[in-house]
Amino acid sequence: MKNTFLALILAAGKGTRMKSSLPKVLHKINNKSMIFWVINSLKHLDIKKYFIVLGHEKDVIKNHFVSSDEFKNFDQKKFNFISQKNQLGTGDALKVSLDFFKNQGENILVLSGDTPLIQEKTLQNLMKRHIETCSDITLLTANIPDSKSYGRIKRDKNKDIMEIVEEKNANEEEKQIKEINSGIYAFKTEFLEKYLNFIKPNGITKEFYLTDLVKIAYLENKKISSFTLDNFDEIIGINDKFTLSVANQKMRNLINKNFMLNGVILENPDTIEIDSTAEIEEDTVISQGTIIKENVKIGKNCKIGPFTFLKNTEIADNVEIKYSYSEDAFIGENSKIGPFSHIRPNSHIHKNVKIGNFTEIKSSTIKDNSKVSHLSYIGDAILENNINIGAGVITCNYDGKKKHQTKIGKNTFIGSNSNLIAPVNIGDGVLIGAGSTIYKDVPDNSLAIERSEQINKIDYFYKKQSNE
Ligand code: UD1
Ligand code: CA
């Protein structure tokens, strides 16, 4: 049992400053709730149980844990919800939780549901410092230029932490302190069991401040340590919608930085949004305005963007995609997509394929070296190798009731502006004359042309005009 850690996440507060009907911790950072990010930062740490303190709108938040798929990959057995009936402050939140977490583990990490940018590595460092120094409290602090709205860390002349002073309680001198409390701490559970009841309501706000534990520990000669961050981005606490937008940008920067450090080139990264779970290999370039949502895998040396949207898409090596949209698709090696292509669900694009401008592909397989370069709709089709689809070719897959399939054999050339009325099978080595409406199967190696004969009437237009 030695050195076991639990985690307590405070999320019962009303979030008045958000001015929102949505509970604060359900506001989104990079498409996921704040509370998701906090819990996600714990996922790979050795933490036995998570205790989540809920109060204001607790049913809405609890329901989010069940109905969103954010937590589906978590060990559900670790989650324990605690109800704080009256939101009497962070100290009270700890008090009502005590009966749940005491005797469950030696140490407890306490985090705020409104500090979603916290990184796993930092928590790891905090836990390590706590254990190595054998402290009763270890605080995560940071020096920040604008310390307003955070609790200030007051140190004595030996630089030992003696107290945390909240903005509302701080005098002018204390307000000048730049070292702040992140709201993230490690405690010895034993210390909390003994001293939580020492917290008295604050003289000004009447709230129970968890931060009062620091002064209590100092006066009782308990061991207080700290881990101080150089980069304070990750401990930004979100209390209003302006900070929410700042945090969104910072989260994007943190995620983007990780991709860049792992060998991905991001051009103009401020304009790029990538889901943190994306897998992107070395030397792939993502250029501006590109959005990569969940379940995306991209191989080596690809060029993605500008202005491309990807979701549930797997992309092999050396693929280029410009100004395009792809969802639920696979795109094979050396293929080129766009500009302005729309790859819709269940599309399998193999190697060296070209999908060009204003082309839509849906539920179709397009095999090696085939080209659909301009202005086409290919739906419910199987295209074999080395096919050339001319400009404006349409698979007419829908009869008003049902969808039907089009099959096209290898080495076939479909002339421009042809309509392929499904169900239809077009053989290998076929040539379809431009402008044909093909409604019967075409055998291998044939020419199919469906076109009324052209009539040229000499001088017709000139005569017509002179008769008028
Ligand atoms: C708190 C800290 C402050 C720190 C800052 C960091 C206290 C007294 N102050 O201030 O030193 O610099 O965080 O962001 O702790 N909550 C409950 N129950 C309650 C009240 C709050 O669960 O009764 C939860 C909130 O939902 C929130 C967290 O505790 O997730 C922090 O509360 P908040 O009111 O945002 O505290 P701050 O004023 O930001
Ligand atoms: Ca806060």
Which tens digit of pLDDT belongs to each residue from 21-80? 999 999 999 889 999 999 999 999 999 999 999 999 999 999 999 999 899 999 999 999
Nearest to 251 by CA among 263, 267, 238: 238
- Whole-number Cα distances in Å, 69 to 33, 47, 74, 239, 423: 11, 22, 10, 25, 39
Spatial neighbors of 27 by CB under 8 A, at least 6 apart, are 18, 20, 33, 34, 238, 241, 244
Q: Relative to the alpha carbon of 10, which ligand is closest?
A: 1
Q: H/E element holding 130?
A: helix 120-132
Residue 302 Cβ contacting ligand 1 at under 6 Å = no
Q: What pLDDT, on a 0 to 100 scale, did the predictor assign at position 466?
A: 85
Residue 221 CA to ligand 1 centre (angstroms): 25
180 lines ligand 1 (CB under 6 A): yes
pLDDT digit of tens for each residue in the chain (468 aa)? 478 999 999 999 989 999 999 999 999 998 899 999 999 999 999 999 999 999 999 999 999 999 998 999 999 999 999 999 999 999 999 999 999 999 999 999 999 999 999 999 999 999 999 999 999 999 999 999 998 889 999 999 999 999 999 999 999 999 999 999 999 999 999 999 999 999 999 999 999 999 999 999 999 999 999 999 988 899 999 999 999 999 999 999 989 999 999 999 999 999 999 998 899 999 999 999 999 999 999 999 999 999 999 999 999 999 999 999 999 999 999 999 999 999 999 999 999 999 999 999 999 999 999 999 999 999 999 999 999 999 999 999 999 999 999 999 999 999 999 999 999 999 999 999 999 999 999 999 999 999 999 999 999 988 888 887
Instruction: Decide if 44 is catalytic.
Output: no
Mutational test site, ligand 1, from 9, 52, 61, 90, max ligand atoms within 8 Å of CB: 90
d(CA 204, CA 366): 70
141 in contact with ligand 1, CB cutoff 6 A: no
Distance between Cα 38 and ligand 2 center (Å): 13
Kindly report the backbone phi and psi dihedral angles of residue 251, in degrees, each rounded to the nearest multiple of 5, phi listed first: -60, -45
**Is any ligand 1 atom within 6 A of the Cβ of residue 415?**
no
Edge-to-edge strands, sheet with 320-321: 265-266, 285-286, 303-304, 320-321, 336-337, 354-357, 371-374, 388-389, 413-414, 431-432, 447-448
Count of all residues that appear for the chain in the document? 468
Task: Give, as one character, the DSSP assignment of residue 71.
Answer: T
For ligand 1, is residue 12 a contact (CB within 6 Å)? yes
User: Could you give the CA distance from residue 453 to residue 435 in angstroms, rounded to a whole number?
Assistant: 12
Phi and psi for 343 in degrees, rounded to 5? Answer: -105, 115
Residues 6+ apart with CB under 8 A from 453: none
Q: Which class for 230: exposed (0-12), middle (13-18), buried (19 or more C-beta within 10 A)?
A: exposed
Write down the pLDDT at residue 155. Answer: 97
Looking only at the bridges linking them, the beta strands covering 79-83 and 161-165 are unpaired
Give residue 237 CA to ligand 2 midpoint distance, Å: 5
At residue 157, the pLDDT reads 96
The catalytic residue among 56, 348, 374, 404 is 374
According to the model, what pLDDT value does residue 280 have?
98
Query: What is the predicted pLDDT for the residue at 404?
Result: 98
Which pair of structure tokens corresponds to residue 438? 């093909």
